[in-house]
Every structure is written in C-alpha cells, then in structure tokens.
Amino acid sequence: MRKTYQHQFPDYQSRKPLPGPLKTVANLDFILLFMIVLLSGFGLVVLYSASEQSDAIMVRQSSYLAAAFGGMFILAQIDPRHLERLATPLFILGTALLIAVLLMGTGAKGAQRWLAIPGLPRFQPSELMKLVVPIMVASYLARRPLPPSLKHLFFSCFFILVSVGLIARQPDLGTSILIGASGLFVIFLAGVPWKVISIALIAALASLPGLWFLMRDYQRQRVLTLLDPERDPLGAGWNTIQSKIAIGSGGMEGKGWLNGTQSHLDFLPEGHTDFIIAVLGEELGFLGVLSVMVLYLLIVARGSYIALTADGTFNRLLAGSITLTFFVYVFVNVGMVSGLLPIVGVPLPLVSQGGTSLITLMAGFGILMSIHSHRSLMQQ
Amino acid sequence: MPEPLHLNNPLAERRLFNARMAICLLLVVLMAAGLIARAAYLQLFQHDQYATLSDENRLRLQPVAPTRGLIYDRNGILLADNQPSFTLVVVRERAKDLDQLLLDLQEIIEISDREIQRFQKRRKRSGAFFASLPLKFKLSDEEIATLAVNQHRLPGAEIRAQLVRNYPVSELTTHVVGYVGRINERELKKIDRVQYSVTNHIGKTGIEKFYESVLHGQVGNQKVETDAQGRVLRTLDRIDPVPGDDIYLQLDIELQRVADKALEGRRGAVVAIEIESGGVLAMVSKPSFDGNKFVTGIDSKSYNQLRDSLDLPMFNRAIRGVYPPGSTIKPFIGLAGLDTRVVNYYSRVRDPGWYQLENDERFYRDWKKGGHGWTVNLSQAIIESCDTYFYDLSFKLGIDQIHNYLGQFGFGQPSLRDLPGEASATLPSRGWKKTTYGKTWYHGETLLAGIGQGYFSATPMQLATATATFGNKGKTVQARLLMTDQSSHWSKLDRQKLPDVELKNPQDWDYLFKSMERVVHSPKGTARRIGVGSEYRIAGKTGTAQVVGIRQGEEYDGEALEEHQRDHALFVGFAPVQAPKIAVAVVIENGEHGSSVAAPVARKLFDAYLLNGLIPSLSSEEKL
C-alpha cells in the first residue's frame, strides 16, 4: 500500500539532483556554511582566552572542527531518502547501543555515557540518538496522514520515551532534554491537534511534583540552587553566582579579550566548556553576547528557510526539528549560565570546547544541506 | 474489517507545517529576546554591582607587619634586634594528603612529635583558608637546602622567611629587656586586632612589654590580586608599615657585665643608678636565663627545668625580690632621728649587747655579743651598725615618724616606673597592720622595723633608688631605664614625682655622709675591707637580714642552718662622697655577711663606673 501512494505524488518521483549555478556545489549550502564558519571561528577566539591560551586545546578543538566539517560534508551528500529508509534499522541499532551503554558503558563523575567497541573509537551512542530519534519519528509520521491520529502519536511518543528514558538512566539530563525536544518538535510540526497539546501540557504540569521525586539528589540541588543561589554560595551555588558575576562585570564592552578576571583567576569553573558564554560576556561584554545571539538567530533563520522550502513531509519535519533543537541548545546553555535555568550539561553549540556534540551538530547541518540540495527539480 | 484508507493531503500538510513552524519561530524570537534581555539586565543594569563583586573576588587587602624597634644600651650597643629566620609552614589546602605530607617531611628533616602536636593544635584553631601554619621554626641552612631540593614532591610545604627577635646578650639582659613571645589568647583580647593582624609576637616581660606600643610600629597594607585559591598573583598598591621606634636604655652593658660576673654563682640582685639622671646603669638578677628560647616557643623540658629550679632563674629579684633591708636603712632612720630632734650628733646610748622595753621581758639583741660600748653616738652606730642604738632611736621616733621619713625616700612603693611587675614591698605602719592583720601595732615591732627587720621589706630597686636620693642630698632621684632624650616615650608614663626630702638642718647630710664614708674608710667600719686602695671615697652601709627568726636565748649559727635559711647579705652605697655620681644596692641571698660578700660587689661596680667610666666609649669598644 505504501508503494501505491508514494507513486501518486510528483514529490517523490525522480529526484536527480541538478547541479545549480552556485548554491549547490557538492550539495553544500553556502549561506549556512558561511554562518557556521563565522560562528566556529569566533568560538575558537573565545576558547583561546577561556583555555588560558592553551595551544594544546586549540589544536585539539581545530581537529574536532575539521572532523565535524568532514562529517557535515559526508552527510550533505547522502540523499535524505536513504535516511528515511534506514530510520527503523538505525533506531533499533541506536536503542541497542544505549542498552549496551547501561550494561557495559564507561564514563566519569558517576555517569556512564561512553561505549568502547573494539575496533571503533570510543563514542557516545546518545549523540547518535540526537539525530536518529527525529529521523525515526519524522519517517514514522511522514508515512501516515497528518495530523497524526492518537495511535500514531502514541507510537511516536513511545520512540521518544524509550530513548530519553535510556539516556536519563546514564544519567545525562542535558542530552535527554535535547533528544526529547527534537522528537517533540517533529510531533508538534506534524500538526498534533491543539486539544491533545493542551491535555498533554496540563498533564505535564500536574506531574511536576511527581518529577521532583524521580529526580536524583544532585538534580534537585541544581533546581534549588537556581531558585536561591545564595543558599550554598561556596558549593552548589558557586557556579551560578560566579558566572553571573562574570557576565555582569563585563558591562557593555567587556574587560577585553584575554583580560577576564573571573575566568583567568579560576573563579569561574568550566569556563572553556559549558560556561564559555560567561567568558565571552566578561571579556567582550554585552556587544559580544549580542553578536553571538544574532549569529545563532541567523543560523536558525536559514535552517527554518530550508525546512519551509523542503519538499516532502519527512524532509520538512526533520529539517524543522534539527533547526529548532539547535536553538534549544543555545537557550538551555545561555539560560543556565545566566542563571535563568538550572544547571544541566548542555554545551554552547559551536563555541564550547568538545568534540562529540560538535560532530553531531555539524552532521545535523549536513542533513539540512542535503535536504536543501536534494529538492526536486520543480522546487528548485 | 478492512483498515480505512487514509490518504495524505500534501497541500494541507504543508500548510499545517508552515503554521506550526511559524509558531515555533515566534517562540524562538521571544526566547532569544528573553536571553538578550537577561544579558542586558546583568551587563547593563546590574553592571556596577557585579563589577564590584568581581573586584571583591580577586582583590584583597593584606596587612604588612611593621618591623619591631631595636633596643640599645646607653652607648648604642644592641640588646635586641631582628634577625631573619626560616620557618617551615604547611598550607593544608595545597597538600594532597596532609598526614602523608607530615610523614614525608619527618623523613627528610628532623621534626619532633611535639612539633607535630603543636602543629595539629594550630591547625584545629585556625579556620582561615590557605593559612600558612608553622610546623618547624629556625630551620638550619642544611634543612633549608634539603627542603628546597625535595620541594617538587612536597606540595603544601613551604619555607617562609620572617624576622625573629634576637637578644645578643640575653643572659645578661633578660631581666631588664625581657623577651617577646607568641601572642596568647588573653593578649589577643586586649590588643588592637588591626594593628596586630600580622604580628605574631608581643612583648611578654621587661622593656619589651612595657614599651610594646613604642616598639611595635604601625601596620601597613597592600592590595593584592589573588586567584580563586587565594594565591597572590601581584601587588597593586601598597602602604608601607611604619617600623617601631628604637629604644635607648640607660643601661651600660659593660657595667651590667661587671655586676653579672660579681654575682656569679650566687642568688641575688644588683642595681646601680646614675644619681644625676636616675638612669639605671645596671640591673642584674641572678641566676638568669636565655630569653631567646621563649621567642619561638620554649620546649617543655627546658621550661620545666627553668620553672622548677630552686634558684628561681625566671624570678626578677631586682624588682620583685622582697627582702628585709636590715641595717642598710639605718642611715635613713638616723636622718629621721636628727631631723625630728629626737637625737643630735652628741646623743649617746649605752649598749650592753641588748635592749629591753619597759614592761617587756623580751631581749632585743645586738648583732655583737657584749655590745658596742657605753657611749655609742649616731655616727658610731652607723659605722659599726649598732643595733641597740637604733632600737632606742626607733622607740623614741615611733613607727609613725619612721613611716613618714622612709616613705619620703620611696620605700613601700614601686620606684622604677618603666618595668612591669615591680613589687611594692612593705613599709609598715599602724594603718598597714590594721588593714593587713586587723591588729594594733606593738612597740616591739617598731624596734624591729628600725633595724630593717620584722614587717619591713624592700626590693633591691627600692634600696638603690632610696640610696641615690640619699646621695643626692634629698633631691628625689627617679629611677628609669629609658634614656632622657627619648622624652616623647617617657611622657606617657610620667607620674607625680616624690617631693624632695628637705631637712631642717642641711648639715645633717654631711654628718650622715661622713658616717657612711667611715663605714668604708675607717678601721672600725663594717665595710672597711672594700675601702682599701680606692682612689675615691665611698659612702656605704652594710646589712644582714635574717631569713628565719631566732628564738629567745638562741644564737645564729650559719653553719648549722640550711643554705636557704642563712642570712641575706646586703650593701647600699654611693660614690664619690664629695659629688656622688652612682648609687648601688646589692642583695645576695643567703650570703650571710654584708661586709664580706655584698660590699665587694659594689666596689667592683664603683671602680668600673668611676675609673673606666672616664672614657666610656673606648672602654666599651675595647671589651666587645
């Protein structure tokens, strides 16, 4: 039956990519690429200061960036239809890997996130799921009439909850949130009826107190600390207090690049990873923060344009989810560093030091570019 | 039942997607605006507040200790200075494993269990972050080298250089200069916390204690930038501390050395006072001890040894030793007799060797069995130290007059004003006995007071001061340790000076001077031995003070008594008689004979001061 209706629509027919004049060299989207390069370049500049001018960290981050751009390039070449076709096997594989992590994963600081398979580099299966979950939900819903029925909604939610649940067990709250968000974006964009949304929202609010009991001790601490950082200024509240001081003391123009005292005198922990926006805010001031925010918004805008102009439901849903999830990164990270949200481990995309999440993000951008360049002739 | 066929409607789906996307983008814009607003709130509206917090984070005001003032003798010879000393300190926050670090350190250099105990005590008391807690003081060069070589594997152990008080001739001067020691909890309550925030030591005794405020100086401070661990990275601003003022003492270290040597092997005290200035030229209390040991904390074994010694080396006999002055007060009693017209130069007393009051069966014996003859006058009574004469004179004077006249010479109150802890001793009176014992005064007690026994007691410092005033013909001499030209420090302790002793007939001074001169320079004088071969004339008076009472009918037999129960030997005197320059008081515990034991000590001091003193700068340089 699936084949029958697939053939009815021109969207899904012959999709031989035409090499366009400019935008589609090697399937890359140069507008998006330009902004990504700009942002990651800016990120390197901030990281240079935040890492105490460490050459080692600069070399490592540059090689991560090179690898991530390579990943992006590869994914940009893959026709999204292959992704749609491979959705279910990918999801099954990913879920199996997550279970494997729980059984035999490795990690540090009480969290078990990594999987070491002989012959492969050590990796985090949860990162893979950041892309697999939206692909799975998008492919599942795209095959069904939209808006989705309750049954399809139920299955979509099931896919999401399985992944989120497994990752939350590691525990990795930041990644769970991001994956949950990416799946929910797909459902929302697919057109869940408002009635269902309202009921879900009310149910979620009602279950908030229950959530409190499910949270781990350190997670509760973080929530309490957010509400009142001064209750433990040298312990749980230290990060939030010091990052607010860093940002606030930056003022309009900042203390100058390499001149931040909060970061360089070690008052600010994790200055080169999750809290890098505080270094930026301290050294480059409000103008620096504003510039970065504008760059993020421009990337979101380009991603949204790609989503809106994509053909095929699967492509639209996937592009929309990737773009919006990217913004969730920014919002959660900046929100936590500036003291609006509890502290969860979410890096500032393209700026924080670290390779794993960078590669996933760039892979997402590769998918976006592929979606854009593989539009049907008609659209182009 | 066949499944109903659901068809996709691409156009409717696209419209739906576009609508949902629009909603999401609106949310994105709102949330981004929220983040930017948050940044603006922190960075623009609350900037001042956070800028201050950021500065508070990294900037600290560190106090800087002032250098303690030095102490010199009258010729500019150092009695107390500050020397660099290296201390091993431990910063527990920097040590990975404190217990292991202590074990490692013990392997490399010698650290006693006691030092470890003290360290643990300090560690428990100190709550400060990144505090440097001393573990071992006074590191040797070898220990410093060993520690330096091993430093890389001993994080948390550091060597600190600091100035530590040093007394070059402590055994000679410790009863005068005193010593500094670590500030204890009682002192902590009294001192200015700001001024002493980085000072570890405070004057514990002597000049160090009395002139603490002069010697200490003013604390300075510096603004430093620190990192989150409290490590100082650089100094931004500095207000230098004001070092403490140096202090010059009246003490002449050469004379001090002579006095110290003269008392070698004895228990006793010597005080020499320059009559013109009142300056204390020498003040020795023997035995003495090394005050340097107390600066960085004396070990308990040495301390117990000092504390438990029967010779009481830590007891400052010169100002705290309370002795019956014995016959040394006879010239003062004689002066009272002359001035009150109770006796004159020609009044005579028959001395059979004892004295008896009416209605009192008790015999008051003279020291000389058989007495001093039938016609003893005042001069003779002083020269031969006739007790009977003074029993008689005292009885006629009465205790009130004795108290009046001897009070004018400063008996019964501390006489040296710039040392802490001087004893008042006792100049007895009716009132004193009433308040102390609740009993009335007896005549017999007047007799004992008249020969410096009974309730009467005095410190060597009081004896020397009173003798100096006597030698100054009644013009009050105020004893002090500080040099005159340092009047700015002196002013704060000025007290009302005792009025001068004015005699109705000033010739009485000459009469008494002559009598005292003949104590030394006449064949019958009790101190005739020290007058031999002197190039100047000495006026003096010997004294022998009973330590244990001798019952009626018994006689004193030094041989039969325990060493600690034998009589004290005393001597007071001044020289030269024509124009007295120096007054000396000597007390030698259980020395038995004032004439043969105490007086020669005074002669040595007179010689040193009057003969060598003609060229003081040369003599002091030669000897050092």
Give the length of chain B.
624
B213: which residues sit within 8 A by CB, 6+ positions away?
none
Task: Considering only residues A2 and B235, tell me which one the structure prediction assigns the higher pLDDT.
Answer: B235
Q: Which residue, among B570, B571, B318, has the nearest Cα to B459 in the 3D structure?
A: B318
Q: Which two tokens stand for residue A225?
A: 């600390």
Burial class of residue A212 (count of CB atoms within 10 Å of its CB; 0-12, 13-18, 19+): exposed
Interface contact flag, A191 B54, Cβ < 8 Å? no
B17 at A interface, C-beta within 8 A? yes
Quote the CA–CA distance of A64 and A56 in Å, as a whole number. 12
Q: Which two tokens stand for residue B87?
A: 């201390």
Q: Is B265 a residue whose pLDDT tops 70?
A: yes
Give the three-class secondary structure for A158.
Answer: helix
Alpha helices for B455-524 (secondary structure H)? 460-471, 487-490, 507-521
Residue of A nearest to B6 (CA): A145
Interface contact flag, B36 A289, Cβ < 8 Å? yes
pLDDT band at B491 (very low <50, low <70, confident <90, very high): low
E strands, B167-213, where? Answer: 180-182, 201-203
Q: How far is B152 from chain A (nearest CA, A)?
A: 22
Residue of B nearest to A251 (CA): B43
Give the residue-averaged pLDDT of A361-367: 95
Catalytic residue (choose from B327, B457, B515, B620): B327
Count Cβ atoms below 10 Å from residue B507 Cβ, excluding itself: 11
Strand partners, B569: B544, B588
Quote the CA–CA distance of B360 and A209 in Å, as a whole number. 105
**Above pLDDT 90, what percent of chain B?**
47
Q: Which two tokens stand for residue A2?
A: 């699936």
Residue type present at position B180: V
Q: How far is B30 from chain A (nearest CA, A)?
A: 11
B32 contacts in A (CB within 8 Å)? 293, 296-297, 327, 330-331
Quote the CA–CA distance of A7 and B118 in Å, as a whole number. 90
Task: Considering only residues B456 and B300, tell me which one the structure prediction assigns the higher pLDDT.
Answer: B456
Quote the CA–CA distance of A116 and A56 in Å, as a whole number. 24
* pLDDT tens digits along B90-123: 887 777 788 888 888 888 888 888 888 888 887 7
Quote the CA–CA distance of A153 and A155 in Å, as a whole number. 5
pLDDT band at B624 (very low <50, low <70, confident <90, very high): very low
Task: Considering only residues A264 and A288, tell me which one the structure prediction assigns the higher pLDDT.
Answer: A288
For the four alpha carbons of A339, A341, A346 and A349, in that order, the dihedral sign comes to negative
Residue of A nearest to B53 (CA): A245
Quote the CA–CA distance of B161 and A353 in Å, as a whole number. 43
Q: Are B462 and B425 in contact (CB under 8 A)?
A: yes
A12 at B interface, C-beta within 8 A? no
Q: How far is B204 from chain A (nearest CA, A)?
A: 40
Interface contact flag, A188 B20, Cβ < 8 Å? yes
* pLDDT tens digits along A45-83: 999 999 888 899 999 999 999 999 999 999 999 999 999
Q: Are strands B71-72 and B247-248 parallel, antiparallel or unpaired?
A: parallel
Interface contact flag, B28 A324, Cβ < 8 Å? yes
Residue of A nearest to B16 (CA): A191
Q: Which two tokens stand for residue A87?
A: 């959705």
Give the residue-averaged pLDDT of A216-245: 77
A314 at B interface, C-beta within 8 A? no
- At which residue do the structure tokens 């004179």 appear? B393
A246 contacts in B (CB within 8 Å)? 54
B20 contacts in A (CB within 8 Å)? 188-191, 320
* pLDDT tens digits along B35-78: 999 999 999 999 999 998 888 888 878 788 899 999 999 999 99
Q: How far is B160 from chain A (nearest CA, A)?
A: 24
Q: How far is B77 from chain A (nearest CA, A)?
A: 50
Q: Are A163 and A128 in contact (CB under 8 A)?
A: no
Residue of B nearest to A340 (CA): B38
DSSP letters of B348-388?
A: -EEESSEE--TT----EE-SSTT-SEEEE-HHHHHHTT-HH
Q: Are B25 and A304 in contact (CB under 8 A)?
A: yes
A238 contacts in B (CB within 8 Å)? none
Q: Which residue, among A89, A83, A37, A137, has the nearest Cα to A374 in the 3D structure?
A: A83
Residue B327 known to be catalytic: yes
Give the residue-averaged pLDDT of B274-280: 91
B44 at A interface, C-beta within 8 A? yes
A138 at B interface, C-beta within 8 A? no
**Above pLDDT 70, what percent of chain A?**
89
DSSP B127: -
Q: Hey, what domains does chain B have and what are their CATH numbers?
A: 61-248 (3.90.1310.10), 253-295+316-489+496-610 (3.40.710.10)
A244 at B interface, C-beta within 8 A? yes
Helix (H) or strand (E) holding B408: helix B387-408
B15 at A interface, C-beta within 8 A? no
A146 at B interface, C-beta within 8 A? yes
CA B318 to chain centroid, in Å, comes to 11
Interface of B with A in 533-592 (CB under 8 A): none
Phi, psi of B543 (to 5 degrees): -155, 150
B18 at A interface, C-beta within 8 A? yes
A264, A265, A379: best to mutate for the B interface, most B CBs within 10 A: A265
For the four alpha carbons of B138, B141, B143 and B148, in that order, the dihedral sign comes to positive
Could you write out the three-class secondary structure of B422-459?
CCCCCCCCHHHHHHHHCCCCCHHHHHHHHCCCCCCCEC
A303 at B interface, C-beta within 8 A? no
Q: End-to-end distance of chain A based on CA atoms, in angstroms?
A: 29
Phi, psi of B146 (to 5 degrees): -60, -45
- At which residue do the structure tokens 């692909």 appear? A135
Mean pLDDT of chain B: 86
DSSP letters of B60-73?
A: EEEEEPPPPPPEE-
* pLDDT tens digits along B327-380: 999 999 999 999 999 999 999 988 888 888 887 788 888 888 888 888 889 999
**Above pLDDT 70, what percent of chain B?**
92
Q: Is B615 a residue whose pLDDT tops 50?
A: no
Interface contact flag, A9 B229, Cβ < 8 Å? no
Instruction: Give the per-residue pLDDT at A380.
Output: 46
Q: Are A183 and A175 in contact (CB under 8 A)?
A: no
Give the residue-averaged pLDDT of B156-177: 89
DSSP B594: I
CB-nearest to B7 from A5, A244, A248 is: A5
Inter-CA distances, B181 with A76, B69, B82, B209, Å: 79, 15, 13, 10
* pLDDT tens digits along A145-175: 878 888 999 999 999 999 999 998 888 888 9
- At which residue do the structure tokens 């990281």 appear? A47
* pLDDT tens digits along B385-430: 999 999 999 999 999 999 999 999 999 988 887 888 889 899 999 9
Q: Which residue, among A82, A91, A90, has the nearest Cα to A155 in the 3D structure?
A: A91
Task: Considering only residues A104 and A321, tell me which one the structure prediction assigns the higher pLDDT.
Answer: A321
Inter-CA distances, B185 with A68, A181, B182, B295, B485, Å: 65, 62, 10, 16, 36
Q: Which two tokens stand for residue A23?
A: 């935008």
Q: Which residue, among B246, B244, B243, B250, has the nearest Cα to B173 in the 3D structure?
A: B250
